[in-house]
Structure 1
Amino acid sequence: LAIPITTILAGRLVRFKEGAFPAMLAFLITGPTGILFYNLFPACGPHNMFGPNFPFHPFPIADLPRLLLEPVAFQGPRNAMPSLHLAWTLLAWWYSRGLSWAERFIAFAFLALTAFARLGTGEHWFVDLVVAFPFALLMYALCAYQLCWKDSRRMTAILTGLGGTLAWLVTLRYGAKLFWVSPIVPWVLSAATIAFAYIWQAKLDHATDAREMTSAARGWVSWFRFDSAVARPE
Structure 2
Amino acid sequence: MLARIDGGAGSAAWRRPRVVLWAAVSVVALGFLIALEIAARGYGVPGPITAQAREVIFAPASGTVLYASMTLMLVVLTWRQRFLAVGAAIAIDLVFWLVRWAVGAEMMFGNGALWVTLGGAVIAVTRRTGRERALLLKGVGLALLLVAGRKTGYTWLLITSKTRPMVLDPYVAAADHALGNPSWVAGRIVEATGTVGAHVLDWVYVQLAVAAVIVALYQLRNVAAERRFPGHHLVRTFLVIGLLGPGIYMVFPVVGPIFAYGADGGQWALADLWPNTPPPVGTPQPMPFDEVTPRNCMPSLHTAWATAIFVHSRKGPLALRLLGTFWLITTLGATLGFGYHYGADIISGVVFTLTIDAAMRSFDRGWDRQGIQLVGYGAAVFVALLTSYRYLSVEMAGQPWVFGPLLVLATASVVYGYVRATRRWDRQAEPVRLPEPRREPQPELV
- Normalising by structure 1, report the TM-score: 0.83
Task: Give the superposition deviation at 1:59.
Answer: 4.9
Tell me the amino acid that sits aligned with residue 413 of structure 2. F
Is 1:119 aligned with 2:336?
A: yes
Report if aligned partners of 2:231, 2:364 keep a CA contact under 8 Å in 1: no
> Structure 1's 147 and 21: CA in aligned 2 closer, same or farther, altered over 3 A?
closer
What letter is aligned with 1:148? G
Pairing partner for 1:4 from 208, 211, 224 = 211
Query: 2:256, 2:342 within 8 Å by CA — same for their partners in 1?
Result: yes
The 1:19/1:189 distance shift into structure 2, 3 A limit, reads: farther
- Identify which of 347, 350, 354 aligns with 1:130: 347
Tell me whether 1:148 sits opposite 2:359 in the alignment. no
Residue in 2 that maps onto 1:55:
274
1:50 CA displacement: 1.9
- Structure 2, gaps ≥5 residues long: 1-207, 264-271, 437-446
Letter in 1 for 2:286: E
> What's the offset of the Cα at 1:148?
1.7
CA contact (8 A) 1:44 1:80 kept: yes
Give the SS at the match of 2:262: helix
1:50-89 alignment, distance < 5 Å:
50-52=261-263, 53-61=272-280, 64=281, 66-74=282-290, 76-89=293-306
Q: Which has the larger radius of gyration?
A: 2
Over the matched positions of the two proteins, sequence identity in percent amounts to: 24
Q: 2:418 aligns with which of 201, 204, 210?
A: 201
Distance 1:56 1:10 in 2: 38
Is residue 396 of structure 2 the alignment partner of residue 179 of structure 1?
Answer: yes
Q: C-alpha distance in 2, partners of 1:15/1:198?
A: 29
Cα deviation code 1:55-106 (max 9, x no counterpart) = 3444543xx1x22322432451100000000111101111112100100111
Q: What secondary structure, in the 3-state scheme, does the structure 2 residue paired with 1:21 have?
A: coil
Structure 2: distance between partners of 1:163 and 1:22 = 25
Letter in 2 for 1:156: Q
Q: What is the number of equivalent residue pairs in this alignment?
A: 214
Structure with the bigger RCO (C-alpha within 8 Å, sep 6+) is 1
Q: Which runs of 4+ in 1 moved over 6 A?
A: none
Amino acid at match of 1:70: P
- Where structure 1 has 5 or more consecutive residues not aligned to the other structure, the ranges are 225-234
- Deviation at residue 54 of structure 1 after TM alignment: 4.9
Q: 1:11 to 1:177 in 2, by over 3 A?
A: same
Deviation string, structure 1 residues 165-204 (Cα, Å, up to 9, x no partner): 1111111112222303412133212311331122122123
In the aligned structure 1, how far is the partner of 2:427 from the partner of 2:365? 10
1:178 maps to amino acid? E
Equivalent residue letter for 1:195: A
Question: Counterparts of 2:284 and 2:275 in 1: how far apart (Å)?
Answer: 24
More displaced, 12-21 or 194-203?
12-21
Mapped partners of 2:344, 2:244: distance in 1: 19
Q: TM-score, normalised by structure 2?
A: 0.45
The verdict on how the C-alpha distance between 1:48 and 1:135 changes in structure 2, with shifts beyond 3 A counting, is same
Contact 1:87 1:133 in 2 (8 A): yes
Q: Label 1:15 to 1:185 Cα distance change in 2 as closer, same or farther (>3 A).
A: farther
Corresponding residue for 2:378?
Answer: 161
Tell whether 2:241 aligns with 1:30. Answer: yes
Aligned counterparts of 1:29 and 1:134: Cα–Cα separation in 2: 14
Q: Distance in 1 between matches of 2:288 and 2:402?
A: 26
Match of 1:227 in 2: none
Evaluate the alpha carbon distance shift between residue 174 and residue 56 of structure 1 in structure 2; reply closer, same or farther with a 3 A threshold.
Answer: closer
Match 2:253 to one of 18, 42, 48: 42
Q: Quick check: 2:261–2:273 contact (8 Å CA) kept in 1?
A: yes
Question: How big is the alpha-carbon RMSD for the aligned residues of Structure 1 and Structure 2?
Answer: 2.3
- Shift in Å at residue 118 of structure 1? 0.5
